[in-house]
Structure 1
Amino acid sequence: MAAFDPVADRTALQASLARPDTRLVVCLCAAWCGTCREYREAFDALAARRPHLCFVWVDIETHADWLGDFDIENFPTLLVQDANSAPDTAQFFGPLLPTIGILERMLDGATLGTGAVQAPELRPYLSAV
């Protein structure tokens, strides 16, 4: 399965987020960005290989209000957040080289933090779209 679109896949996304142990993996990109368009295929393929995680593709121009005071200046920007992370924190939030292997290694736990990185709180928006 490809990454969720927060509008088109609303029902399935809400069901995924309702699971108490859902790790959220969000790619924040822009439709006009060529790097993002190229990265999307690999991100979708990774989502298909890891169906136990909740992968979401968010266009920052369509959903800019979800980001609050956070500015996304580099693409792709990724957010990785465990279900038990405190609001406004994540294991990872920031730009990432557009090489899917880097994200794969992060998700395997090799380079993720403990959940103390400041990040936008996207779960309420993704659950209510």
Structure 2
Amino acid sequence: MSLRPNVSNAEESPLSEEFLVICLCAEWCGICRDYRAGFDGLASQFPDTRFCWVDIEDQADDLGEVDVENFPTMLIRRHQLVLFFGAILPHQSHLRMLIEAFREQTPAESLAYANSNPERRGWQENQELCRLGMIK
């Protein structure tokens, strides 16, 4: 699988960032097109976090069985832990708050959070979600 990193921070970023934020959208979606600028802006505010924009149609093969029902859908990982997977309101401030909250957690707190309910435990067991963001 190869997801295209967001150009605003991909060139100087190593492949081993602690946090990864993937936006799953579609070019045909007006909300997604409007959201893109804010997403790119957040990437510049968090240079040590890798941001990837994934068009669910252009990169459908990379997604496997991952189901995207609403836009924008976000996947946020800390190393191999899936901390968030779901649709959010298309406001840059909402994603910023999520990222900041996860960055404030210690690794142990992130582990506890990722396993704190059945839905989150399911994310950890979902091989399709776990492999998203793995760059060859």
Q: Normalising by structure 2, what TM-score?
A: 0.72
Mapped partners of 1:7, 1:104: distance in 2 = 18
Counterpart CA distance in 1 for 2:72 and 2:57 is 14
Q: Deviations over 1:96-115 (max 9, x none)?
A: 100111111111117x9723
What RMSD, in angstroms, separates the aligned Cα atoms of the two structures?
A: 2.5
Mapped pair 1:115 → 2:114:
yes
Structure that is richer in helix per residue: 2
CA–CA distance in 2 between the matches of 1:122 and 1:73?
17
Change in CA separation of 1:8 and 1:56 when aligned onto 2, cut-off 3 Å: closer
- The answer on whether the counterparts of 2:5 and 2:53 sit within 8 Å (CA) in structure 1 is no
Equivalent of residue 103 in structure 1, options 95, 106, 125: 95
**Structure 1 letter corresponding to 2:36:** R
Q: Which residue of 2 aligns with 1:16?
A: 14
CA contact (8 A) 1:24 1:81 kept: yes
Q: Normalised by the size of structure 1, how large is the TM-score?
A: 0.76
- Structure 2 unmatched ranges of 5 or more: none
Instruction: Give 5+ residue unaligned stretches, structure 1.
Output: none
Partner of 1:49: 45
Q: Which structure: larger Rg? A: 2
Percent sequence identity is 39
**Residue 75 of structure 1 is aligned with which of 71, 74, 78?**
71
